[in-house]
Amino acid sequence: MLFAIICTDKPDAAAIRAQVRPDHIAYLNEHAARIYCAGPTLDDGGETMNGSVLMMDFANLDQARAFADNDPYFKAGLFDSVTVRPWKKVFPAD
């Protein structure tokens, strides 16, 4: 089942994001087989990262939440909020 993990950075947290990014990328690489797509959200100018969106495959909501809770970004206190929801791909049709 696919899940959307939607994370919003705390204001003025760019330094935390930059410092922890290598650990975050390593964590994603460890779970690459589960990733449908992932990437940062950007400010209105399209230049500064201000959050993350991941679409990932897990057996259940508890597994998806555990993944989000163990993300180095989350552990470092980068995020103001994290939402984990089941997600259904509708378009384009497979």
Q: What is the pLDDT of residues 44-79, one digit of tens each?
A: 999 999 999 999 999 999 999 999 999 999 999 999
Superfamily of domain 2-87: Dimeric alpha+beta barrel (3.30.70.1060)
Task: Report the distance separating Cα 25 and Cα 63, nearest Å.
Answer: 19
Tokens 């947290």 belong to which residue?
13
Q: Is the dihedral angle over the CA atoms 57, 58, 60, 62 positive or is it negative?
A: negative
- Average pLDDT of the chain is 97
pTM beyond cutoff 0.85: yes
